[in-house]
């Protein structure tokens, strides 16, 4: 059974390719490599022992997408493609509205056109949403019925896409849609062959810590130690990318099986502070991670973690990996590939 992965060459997409193959599906990667490297396909082939088909396409190109859908007739589509840097979205909002919202509209229109051609195939979509849609949550843990809001154009784009999907589901009962709200994906495949390869200075904590540990940056700036949390630093629900990948397989299976649409959190249900991550990474790597306390980063919330109970009930999925595994696998990837896919 074929599954099309837009943005499949990216961080989460590439790990999901492996999980889908292990579960017996045939993933097809669709990517324009705007934030990934074609070398990921060679690494994937080494892990799975087969060539993963690639469509070098921009999701904004609706006719081309339609051609891809017509040729492959995938049983489902996972829509990862999009831009994800919060700071950049504040500086360049139109880039985010165009690529993220425009990309989703383009994909949905191509899928709708395909459904008109082959009405026997129910359009089946998994969408990469984010815990950012909860804005500054009133309390933790966060359940899916919490009010949604946005604090930057990236988050706004995710919220708009969710709303588009809800409107579409109301208008077209044949559609089967799984909205997955990821918490903080970290770690890498245990082979050390694929992982997160951010361009330039990492925005996110774990890749930054990894670059400090490997000696590429001299210290971490800890953004604030005066939050109302046990050690004063921000607390997040870090989830191993392998668990997240498994969540996509569970989502696809549920949509193709029971056929009901859903929106679920993908998190562990546990929060870890910035300083806990630093200590866990030092332990996993055997390297020091020097840090300095810096001012709070604008827009950050104090603490954010999921109630993952709904994903367990609906999908039979729960995260299995602890923070130590996340750091061990992130370190294996970072130390084996200090320059990411660029060799």
Catalytic residue positions, numbered: 154
Part in contact with ligand NAD (CB under 6 A); list of ranges 76-84, 247-255, 307-315, 331-339: 76-84
Partner whose binding site includes residue 268, from ligand UDP, ligand NAD, none (CB under 5 to 8 Å by kind): none
Asked whether position 82 contacts ligand NAD by CB under 6 A, the answer is yes
Is there a contact between 2 and 73 (Cβ–Cβ < 8 Å)?
Answer: yes
| Residues 183-194: b if buried by 16+ CB within 10 A, e if exposed | bbbbbbbeebbb
Q: CA-to-CA distance for 310 and 283, rounded, in angstroms?
A: 33
Is there a contact between 300 and 261 (Cβ–Cβ < 8 Å)?
Answer: no
Number of residues this chain uses to bind ligand NAD (CB under 6 A): 26
Closer CB to ligand UDP, residue 78 or residue 277? Answer: 277
Closer CB to ligand NAD, residue 84 or residue 176? Answer: 84
Asked whether position 178 contacts ligand NAD by CB under 6 A, the answer is no
Asked whether position 11 contacts ligand NAD by CB under 6 A, the answer is yes
Partner whose binding site includes residue 300, from ligand UDP, ligand NAD, none (CB under 5 to 8 Å by kind): ligand UDP
Positions in the binding site for ligand UDP (CB under 6 A):
184, 203-205, 208, 220-223, 234, 236, 274, 297, 300
Q: Which long-range contacts (CB under 8 A, 24 or more apart) does 221-224 make?
A: 221/291, 221/292, 221/294, 222/274, 222/275, 222/278, 222/291, 222/292, 222/293, 222/294, 223/274, 223/294, 223/295, 223/296, 223/297, 223/300, 224/293, 224/294, 224/295, 224/296, 224/297, 224/300
Q: Report the residue number whose CB is nearest to ligand UDP.
A: 234
Q: Which residues pair with 154 in a beta bridge?
A: none
Partner whose binding site includes residue 169, from ligand NAD, ligand UDP, none (CB under 5 to 8 Å by kind): none
Asked whether position 80 contacts ligand NAD by CB under 6 A, the answer is yes
Asked whether position 240 contacts ligand NAD by CB under 6 A, the answer is no
Closer CB to ligand UDP, residue 274 or residue 311? Answer: 274
Nearest distance, CB of residue 184 and ligand UDP, angstroms: 5
The conformational region for residue 318 under phi > 0 = left, psi -120 to 50 = alpha, else beta, is: beta
Asked whether position 221 contacts ligand NAD by CB under 6 A, the answer is no
Q: CA-to-CA distance for 178 and 254, rounded, in angstroms?
A: 9
- Residue 72: how many CB atoms within 10 A of its CB? 17
Interface positions with ligand NAD (CB under 6 A): 6-7, 9-13, 31-36, 58-60, 80-82, 84, 99, 103, 128, 130, 182, 185
């Amino acid at each position: 059974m074929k599954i099309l992965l837009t943005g499949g060459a990216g961080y989460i997409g590439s790990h999901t390719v492996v999980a889908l193959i292990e579960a017996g599906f045939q993933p097809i990667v669709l990517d324009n490599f705007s934030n990934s490297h074609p070398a990921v396909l060679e690494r994937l082939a080494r892990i799975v022992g087969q060539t993963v088909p690639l469509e070098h396409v921009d999701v904004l190109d609706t006719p081309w997408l339609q051609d891809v859908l017509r040729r492959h007739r995938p049983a489902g589509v996972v829509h990862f493609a999009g831009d994800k840097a919060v700071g950049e979205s504040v500086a360049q909002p139109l880039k985010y509205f165009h690529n993220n919202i425009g990309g989703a509209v383009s994909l949905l229109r191509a899928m709708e056109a395909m459904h008109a051609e082959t009405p026997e195939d129910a359009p089946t979509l998994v969408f990469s949403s984010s815990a950012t849609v909860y804005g500054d949550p009133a309390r933790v843990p966060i359940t899916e019925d919490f009010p949604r809001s946005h604090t930057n154009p990236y988050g706004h784009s995710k919220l708009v896409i969710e709303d588009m999907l809800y409107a579409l589901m109301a208008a077209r009962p044949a559609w089967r849609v799984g909205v997955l709200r990821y918490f903080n994906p970290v770690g890498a495949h245990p082979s050390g062959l694929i992982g997160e390869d951010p361009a330039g200075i990492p925005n996110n904590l774990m890749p930054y810590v990894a670059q400090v540990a490997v000696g590429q940056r001299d210290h971490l700036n800890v953004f604030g130690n005066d939050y109302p949390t046990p050690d004063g630093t921000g607390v997040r629900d870090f989830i191993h990318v392998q668990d997240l990948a498994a969540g996509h397989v569970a989502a696809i299976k549920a949509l193709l099986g029971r056929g009901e649409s859903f929106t679920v959190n993908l998190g562990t249900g546990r929060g870890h502070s910035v300083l806990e991550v630093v200590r866990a990474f030092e332990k996993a790597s055997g390297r020091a991670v020097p840090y300095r306390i810096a001012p709070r980063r604008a827009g950050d919330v104090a603490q954010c973690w999921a109630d993952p109970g709904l994903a367990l009930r609906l999908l039979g999925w729960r995260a299995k990996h602890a923070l130590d595994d996340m750091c061990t696998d992130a370190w294996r990837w970072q130390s084996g590939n200090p320059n990411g896919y660029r060799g």
